[in-house]
């Protein structure tokens, strides 16, 4: 646990799901409604240090939460699922976290290319 890490000191009432070594909670600055973060309980800045057990738990949580979100909101027809790892990739909280971002038809005028859009001009190919 890191004392300066907002995810290590997350209030328990923010946690919406757990699976062994991982927890999930809604993003405080959601890209879309339902945007959820999945993190290992153990403080580690990078996905490269996540253990196989943590990966498996994160995957199970992502699948469960995606199904739950779609059951609650049938307008959700897709997801972006990813990690920002390091300052060059846009990571701002240095506790490994996976973004599960629900997508709905029409929520972006040109969704083709998905995560390629993080680099201007690379999504349209």
- Residue 97 annotated to the active site: yes
Give Cα 92 distance to the centre of its chain.
13
- Backbone torsions φ then ψ of 103, nearest 5 degrees: -125, 145
**Choosing from 59, 97, 99, 108, which is the catalytic residue?**
97
- Which residue from 81, 113, 109, 112 is spatially nearest to 97, judged by alpha carbons? 81
Q: What DSSP string runs through 37-101?
A: EEEESS--S-GGG--HHHHHHHHHHHHHHHHHHHHH-TTEEEEEEEE--SGGGT--S-S--EEEE
CA-derived radius of gyration, the chain: 15
Q: Catalytic residues, which ones?
A: 97
């Amino acid at each position: 646990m890191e004392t300066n890490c907002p995810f290590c000191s997350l209030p328990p009432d923010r946690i919406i799901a757990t699976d062994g070594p991982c927890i999930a909670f809604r993003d405080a600055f959601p890209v879309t409604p339902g945007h959820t973060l999945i993190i290992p309980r153990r403080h580690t800045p990078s996905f490269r240090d996540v253990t196989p057990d943590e990966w498996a738990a994160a995957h199970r949580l992502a699948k469960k939460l995606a199904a739950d979100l779609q059951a609650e909101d049938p307008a959700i027809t897709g997801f972006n699922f990813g990690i920002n790892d390091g300052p060059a990739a846009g990571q701002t909280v240095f506790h490994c976290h996976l973004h599960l971002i629900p997508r709905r038809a029409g929520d972006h005028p040109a969704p083709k290319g998905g995560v390629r859009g993080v680099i201007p001009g690379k999504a349209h190919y």
